[in-house]
Structure 1
């Protein structure tokens, strides 16, 4: 039988659970950029024109890791489904030899979380924190592509400090993206890519905690192969990593300011493109490991992209 708690009682119960597991599941334990979103050819921008991409991500984590990277001995499960709608316009305007682009990402998220058999909550399927990227610079050369971009992430999703199922994080973030893809041959078939994101955060509503800066890397190695005149397939191996690179500004509910998060991931993916329609689909799997002060799990991402 599931126990029912009043709002106040849940807050008290959660505070004890958070204290027991340290910073691993704190009010600031989420992130505005989850690793595994991109992989092979992550540093290759789309060509000039309009593009729409829909990300579908399923994340399942059953391990909660402490400051030493050891799993905490409590029943824990986190399940997230996120659907993000991305709209990109790559213009012909040149800045420093690059094409200027801008884009908007609107994520819709459902989150379910259970802790210790005493806390079991889920969110509605609702809009989370929106990404606005007004400045992106894309460079294209025969053997190397590059990206540099600036974005703001607005706290548009619902948030409450005592509700870990909140789809929003309750603070603004700035994000700097930089990276590229190198092609080993003139046909641009074999590639190696890496894409970095550096995130700077504002203070969180209710807790007044400013989370420390984050740095992520994503990319992969892949091979483009033509199946016939219409179909192109690209299998590959992807990797990802995320580090918190500065302390929180002070301790918060369930947080210790100098206990930083980190996690690594590796996986595989396949991309299939139907050239006459400029339509492609990508299926990616990522297994996380080496986590500290955060959750550790598995991620499956299915994306569909239509260019116009």
Structure 2
């Protein structure tokens, strides 16, 4: 399977140059992503994933600083242990690939930031093929000029079948 995505991140959240309580980054980002999934067994109970992201960053609000663009490589493996229970491991590396630019750049722009991430997931279909609950724990390592993150995430995914034409009563086409 292949997926492609384009997304825009707007500079939302409180941001003030030099502020210590910033919640946003203060700049626009455009992202181009492509992911591939390979299933080594016919029933697709095992999956290998590889993803690429290219990030183009805009100028920071109220300053002459344009952060460098970034490239991300993500990879993962998942395995269903039953019809409803899935475990997975996800890794990724993010590299700044162009220099920070602008007259307000006071640091050495040739030192580019980077970080790596590792995450573990467990998912369970509470309502078979309609509602999944997924738990993820991830952490960063190998940072240079980046904050270290540890993350806990709980996702609830509901599949509506709105675009499939499936019968609501017995869930068949």
- RMSD value over aligned CA atoms? 1.9
Q: 1:245 aligns with which of 88, 97, 104?
A: 97
Displacement after TM superposition at 1:291 (Å)? 1.0
Per-residue deviation at 1:252?
3.5
**Cα drift, residue 161 of structure 1:** 0.9
Evaluate the alpha carbon distance shift between residue 211 and residue 307 of structure 1 in structure 2; reply closer, same or farther with a 3 A threshold: same
Question: Is 1:258 aligned to residue 114 of structure 2?
Answer: no
Secondary structure class of the residue paired with 1:267: strand
**Cα distance in 1 between the residues matched to 2:127 and 2:75:** 23
Is the Cα–Cα contact under 8 Å of residues 250 and 257 in structure 1 kept in the other structure? no
Aligned pairs, number: 160
Unaligned segments of structure 2, at least 5 residues: 161-173
Is 1:303 the equivalent of 2:155? yes
| Residue 77 of structure 2 corresponds to residue 225 of structure 1 | no
> Hey, what does 1:206 align to over in structure 2?
62
Q: 2:49 aligns with which of 151, 173, 193?
A: 193
CA contact (8 A) 2:52 2:71 kept: yes
CA drift of 1:256 comes to 2.8
Q: Which residue of 2 aligns with 1:179?
A: 35
The 5-angstrom pairing of residues 70-149 of structure 1 reads: 145-149=1-5
Give me the TM-score of the superposition, normalised by structure 2. 0.83
Q: Higher helix share goes to which structure?
A: 1
Q: Which residue of 2 aligns with 1:279?
A: 131
* Structure 2 SS opposite 1:242: strand
Q: CA deviation at 1:183?
A: 0.5
More off after superposition, 275-284 vs 199-208: 275-284
Distance in 2 of aligned mates of 1:217 and 1:164: 31
Structure 2 CA distance for aligned equivalents of residues 178 and 255 of structure 1? 33
Q: Distance in 2 between matches of 1:146 and 1:301?
A: 25
Task: Report if the CA contact (8 A) 2:64-2:103 is conserved.
Answer: no
